[in-house]
Amino acid sequence: MSESPPGAPMSEPSAPSRLETPAAEPRQRRVLDVVDADLGYGELQVVFGVSLHVNAGELVGLVGGNGSGKSTILRAVSGMIKPRGGKVFLGGEDVTGLKPHDLALRGLAHVPMGRQLFGDMTVEENLSLGAYLPPARARRAEGFERVYRLFPDLQAKRRAAAGSLSGGQQQMVAIGRALMLHPKVLIMDEPSLGLAPLLVREVMHVIRSVADTGMPILLVEQNVTQVLRISERAYVLENGRLALEGPSAQLRGDPMIRRAYLGL
């Protein structure tokens, strides 16, 4: 995370502001549920009592400035750090503190910050690394078909070195690699990081196209404008606490968002 949002930072809220939403969704629709998470590193606490969820078939944004705690939440969800307090549920199962391998077996796939591809390996070789678990290996041909249907450019370049692709195409490979796991939910960490504005729009279009297949996605991003454009709902973090949450269309018009993140 290399840059802070434009404008002055928002003051720290005592509780998140919830914009008007339709009737509450049944809890059983939640594929990912984070409840009252307290997170940190060593003696430093960086996330304070955050709750969020992703419903079946939903694209949800988690946005905020540099150091707001977004990626820390993602690390807890993906099993890279253990919460100090609170719970993480995946498909209704308490998975708090489970390791990444165990979470992957339960259907959680992670698209990491910076893409983390092997540049000298081909596109197809990089994709195949996503099918590392036995159930996914058994469905590898189906996985390739799914990825190439979503991303025809990758099929045309499947024998090209991943390092020779554009930044946007490399992000497609990273997303495709995660889809090779045949996940139940996808989490993405700063997919627009380091990309030119035109490529950012391309990548966001790709993410929306994946969500349109019914794949639930938690999208962690600094690019508030683009996330609010493609997501159904969003959470806004400030200083490790939720500042706002609600439907993305309503958040786009919120004065706090317009002032602090959209420069309006």
For residues 256-260, average pLDDT = 79
For residues 39-63, average pLDDT = 97
pLDDT for the residue 66:
87
135 pLDDT more than 80 = yes
pLDDT for the residue 145:
95
CATH superfamily of 29-107+184-194+210-264: P-loop containing nucleotide triphosphate hydrolases (3.40.50.300)
Q: Where are the domains of the chain?
A: 29-107+184-194+210-264, 114-183
Contacts with 141 (C-beta within 8 Å, 6 or more apart), sequence order: none
Pairing, β 217-221 against β 108-111 = unpaired
51 pLDDT more than 90 = yes
210 pLDDT more than 70 = yes
For residues 205-210, average pLDDT = 95
Q: How confident is the model at residue 114 (pLDDT cuts 50, 70, 90)?
A: confident
- List C-alpha distances in Å: 3 to 9, 222, 228: 13, 8, 18
- CA–CA gap between residue 203 and residue 192 (Å, rounded): 7
Residue 161 has what DSSP assignment? B
pLDDT for the residue 1:
42
Q: How confident is the model at residue 20 (pLDDT cuts 50, 70, 90)?
A: very low
Phi, psi at residue 216, to the nearest 5°?
Answer: -70, 135
Coil vs helix vs strand at 236: strand
Which residue has better confidence, 188 or 9?
188
- CA–CA gap between residue 11 and residue 147 (Å, rounded): 43
pLDDT for the residue 42:
92
